[in-house]
């Protein structure tokens, strides 16, 4: 929860107990819960209003997609992951410039490749 472990949560409870005291701590906790619930409701209402006012073109719009980490993961990394997980094509890419006539025969084991002195 928020990257906090048990020692940090215990420290927060002790600090809250010292700041508010044992008699006002339940009231402060209920007030914080009410405030959090109201903020969550306001955020959900704003999201619903935004989706209603954008129109049908943006019916699948999610404000969480505007987060840069989510945007990068969704639009860049998912495509890479799909490419990695896709089975290898049996035929070469349709846009490649090589043809079967241009392709050189494969070398057998131990065969020395041809040397072009002008290429170096």
Name the 3-class secondary structure at 86: coil
Name the 3-class secondary structure at 115: coil
What is the number of other CB atoms lying within 10 angstroms of the CB of residue 13?
11
Q: What is the pLDDT of residue 38?
A: 97
With 0-12 CB in 10 A as exposed, 13-18 as middle and 19+ as buried, what is 25?
A: middle
Q: What is the pLDDT of residue 91?
A: 54
Q: What is the pLDDT of residue 13?
A: 85
DSSP string, 61-84: --GGGGSHHHHHIIIIIHHHHHHH
Instruction: Report the chain (120 residues): mean pLDDT per 10 consecutive residues.
Output: 81 89 89 95 90 81 80 72 59 55 74 80
Query: What is d(CA 44, CA 50) in angstroms, rounded to the nearest whole number?
Result: 10
pTM over 0.85: no
Q: What is the pLDDT of residue 81?
A: 62
């Amino acid at each position: 929860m928020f990257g906090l472990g048990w020692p940090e949560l215990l420290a927060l409870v002790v600090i809250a107990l010292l700041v508010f005291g044992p008699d006002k701590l339940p009231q402060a906790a209920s007030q914080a819960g009410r405030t959090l619930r109201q903020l969550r409701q306001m955020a959900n209402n704003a999201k619903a209003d935004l989706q209603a006012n954008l129109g049908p073109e943006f019916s699948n719009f999610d404000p969480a997609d505007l987060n840069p980490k989510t945007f990068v993961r969704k639009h860049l990394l998912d495509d890479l992951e799909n490419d990695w997980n896709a089975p290898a094509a049996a035929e070469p890419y349709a846009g490649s410039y090589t043809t079967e006539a241009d392709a050189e025969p494969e070398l057998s084991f131990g065969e020395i490749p041809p040397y072009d002195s002008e290429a170096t």
